[in-house]
Amino acid sequence: MALSKTQSSFYRRLYVAHLIDHGTASVPALIDATGMPRRTAQDTVNALVELDVHCEFEQQAGARHHIGRYVIRDWGPIDPTWVAAHAERLREALGYPPV
């Protein structure tokens, strides 16, 4: 069964939040893990706020030019345990490669 646009957007946000929370925490790393275009990766990270998932960029100490990583500060209404338990199903539904 094909995902609707709403489902794929929701699943993508959950999966990206999961990846960030488990150390795949930069746009280049997200691109490598998912194969999604840069703009999609950036937009997905920025859209986490729409789910009340609080994600912040942490600048690497002493680094310039936005070198650092994203950190999930608060999952809001989302249960990160559920997302972790279903991450493989989300990945498969989105057609992303195995991590």
Taking only the tens place, the pLDDT of each residue in 32-43 is 999 999 999 999
Could you identify the residue written with the tokens 């790393």?
Answer: 29
Q: Over pLDDT 90: what percentage of the chain? A: 86
Mean of the per-residue pLDDT values for the chain? 94
Taking only the tens place, the pLDDT of each residue in 28-84 is 999 999 999 999 999 999 999 999 999 999 887 766 767 889 999 999 999 999 999
What is the reported pLDDT for 70? 96
Q: Which CATH architecture has domain 8-94?
A: Orthogonal Bundle (1.10)
What whole-number distance in Å separates Cα of residue 95 and Cα of residue 14? 14
Question: Domain residues of the chain, as ranges?
Answer: 8-94
